[in-house]
Chain A
Amino acid sequence: MLRDKLPWIGAGIIAFFIFCAAAAPWMAPCDPYAINLEERLAPPSAAHLLGLDANGGDVLSRLLYGGRISFTVAVLVVFLSGGLGVGVGLLSGYYGGVPDAILMRVVDVLLAFPGLLLAIALVAVLGPSVANVVLALTVMGWISFARLARGQTLSIKQREYVLAAKISGQSDLRVMRVHILPNIMSPIIVQGVFSVAGVIVSEASLGFLGLGAPPGSPSWGVMLSEGKQVLLEAPHVSFFPGLTIMLVVLAFNFLGDGLRDRLDPGARSRGRVQGEDAEIEAEPSHG
């Protein structure tokens, strides 16, 4: 059954890319910032397995280092937005009332914005840098976690074990931490894995548009963008970063699907959306 194996394949691909990113200083054959204008745009060869880019940088080395940026941004954004979103959603769902209503209207307004567009606007205002990319994607990312956590809290807080905890005399915070949070984590973890895929694509998109890592830095999005200018003469310059993004995003979606089936069987229709957007966005750029 291929379907049963896909999550493992996904996990394998992710492990491989994370290992490569972590070991980039030892694995990379060349300095990712090296400039070699004489051999610029050289196609793949034994010396440079994935060829050279417009500045004569080794594409393989730059991809390996690029993974460090992508994964760091993705992990930071998912933990920051997940932490913020789950905290807000949990409190909002638990206490309800007017603050909850206001908060959810704010969320609705933010959701009405196309996410990437708002991120672009934010980074444009704050100035392009990796830190601002993290900030902008977190501002966009916490919303879906907050909605999910709130919905889960609303359903769990009616369970009898939460009522029993409420009448045990413990504080509200402890009720939330011990009795609600652990029981709403499964769908949130699934959502987190799908978000990693989304964030990687968003980070690459911002880089592609010149709003992420500075030009010349080994970021997958920046590499795609630089390769675009020489697409016809040297397709390998943009093909390999595109392929990498696609593989990583696909792998996180496979893993997310598998986790969802295992942890959160009731929710086949949820969470997938972001991942699918991600794949569609990734495709045109490496073609």
Chain B
Amino acid sequence: MSMSDAIDAPCFLDVRDVRKHYPVTSGVFHRETGRCNVLNGVSLRIREGEIFGLVGESGCGKSTLAKILVKLTPPSSGDVIFLGSPLSVIARRDRRDFYGKVQMVFQDPYSSLNPRLTVGEIVGEMARIRGASRNDSVRETHAMLRGVGLPGDVMGRRPHELSGGQRQRVAIARALIVKPRLLIADEPVSALDLSTQAMILELLQDLKEKLNLTILFISHDLDVVAAFCDRAAVMHLGCIVEVMDAGRIFESALHPYSRALLDSIPIMDPALRQNDGTEGGPAPSEARRRCKKRLISGEPPSPLRLPSGCTFHPRCPLRMDVCAAERPKLLARGDDSHTVACWHPDSGFTNGSG
């Protein structure tokens, strides 16, 4: 832990060295023959009222972390402190209370709504199980649906009658009707088309102000994170490798993996793409167009056999001897708001003393 972490006052959401592995078993007796290491020591501190972005490629453990935060699965070790109390000690009978403070919006609006229930039932259920009378729950549901920009007549419809954007609005209404303080949004727009994405993001921003929400926004879209979030963390193979102000992600990202993620965004401007000057004829090949970029090659390492040291070193263009030997710590670079876990001097200064 860095100095700045140690002296902080109790914070809103404190993820402390959370690890998660799944046993890999084989044979009739389910002998454990291996381990799938999904989260390898994630520490994060999220402040009240911010939108915190979590970025990383598929399979890096973003969704597993989200599931741990809503207690859908327990961490293998480490704990999460939410509003001063550890999640691990929440009793079963206090679950309802906990889920009144933490809610989640899922990635796929096509599978996150029960196809057998009407929209009114899906959203109203949340109020009903918290003891609201039938009339109250209908009124609250109606107000909430209007709040997420849906017409009143969707109450009686079923999910298959709605568009993707409308469904995601219903999912947001379901999460927010309990007035949570923390909303975990697991890629809430990645299943939607672009114009709908913008509207849903606008809605989330709007509701965040109105309801005084804190949002953990999980995404693999750096543009969206840069525009929508206050701070962002980059995750690679179950480790946080960099935390910085989201607005400066394009200029100030230092970790080679963050840079690689930024470089992998396709350039939409043909003029920029062809700046290596191709003589007429057929369009330049894909490889040619991308030759200026530093794309990472190869597959992400398998979580079944974690690389030694820095988990990114097998694919890192800047790797040095120390990278394979020891895991770098998240340390502040420049100012306190920017921390990077990397040994390479190009990413700020030499990490630690080892």
Contacts and interface: CB of A to CB of B under 8 A. Distances in A.
Interface of A: 159-161, 163-170, 174, 178-179, 182-183
A58 B71 CA distance: 69
A182 B115 CA distance: 9
Given A168-B126, A170-B129, A183-B116, A163 B99 contact: no
A161 B112 contact: yes
Contact of B96 (A160, A169, A178, A182): A169
Contact of B171 (A159, A164, A169, A174): A164
Interface stretch (B100-108, B132-140, B243-251, B277-285): B100-108
Chain A CB within 10 Å, residue with most, of B100, B111, B174: B111
A188 to B, nearest CB: 14
A167 B70 contact: yes
B125 A168 contact: yes
Interface string B123-163: 00110011000000000000000000000000000000000
Contacts of A164: 104, 106, 112-113, 171, 174
Nearest to A174: B129
Contacts of B305: none
Contact of B114 (A161, A166, A169): A161
Contacts of A168: 99, 125-126, 129, 174
Given A159-B111, A163-B72, A169 B104 contact: no
B215 to A, nearest CB: 16
A163 B103 CA distance: 11
B210 interface: no
Contact of B108 (A160, A170, A182, A183): A160
A182 B99 contact: no
Contact of A166 (B72, B125, B129): B72
Contact of A170 (B106, B111, B125): B125
A159 to B, nearest CB: 5
Contacts of A159: 111
A166 B103 CA distance: 11
Given A161-B111, A167-B99, A169-B129, 5 more contacts: A164-B174, A166-B72, A167-B70, A170-B129, A183-B115
State the 9 A-B residue pairs at the shortest beta-carbon distance, nearest first: A169-B96, A160-B112, A169-B99, A160-B106, A182-B116, A161-B114, A170-B129, A160-B111, A167-B70
Nearest to A101: B30
A165 B130 CA distance: 13
B95 interface: yes
Contacts of B106: 160, 163-164
Determine the main DSSP class of B at the interface with A. Answer: loop
21 contacts: A160-B106, A160-B107, A160-B111, A161-B112, A161-B113, A161-B115, A163-B72, A163-B104, A163-B106, A163-B112, A165-B114, A167-B71, A168-B125, A169-B95, A169-B100, A170-B96, A170-B129, A178-B114, A178-B125, A182-B114, A183-B114
Nearest to B67: A163
Nearest to A180: B114
Contacts of A182: 114, 116
A96 to B, nearest CB: 13
A183 B108 CA distance: 18
A182 B100 CA distance: 26
A181 to B, nearest CB: 9
Contacts of B99: 167-169
A161 B95 CA distance: 18
A160 B72 CA distance: 11
Contact of A167 (B104, B113, B116, B117): B104
B269 to A, nearest CB: 37
Nearest to B99: A169
Nearest to A172: B92
B110 to A, nearest CB: 9
Chain B CB within 10 Å, residue with most, of A161, A178, A179: A161
Contacts of B129: 168-170, 174
Contacts of B115: 161, 183
Interface in B81-108: 95-100, 102-104, 106-108
A162 to B, nearest CB: 8
A167 B71 CA distance: 8
A92 to B, nearest CB: 17
A74 B70 CA distance: 46
A183 B116 CA distance: 7
Contacts of B95: 169
Interface string B44-71: 0000000000000000000000010011
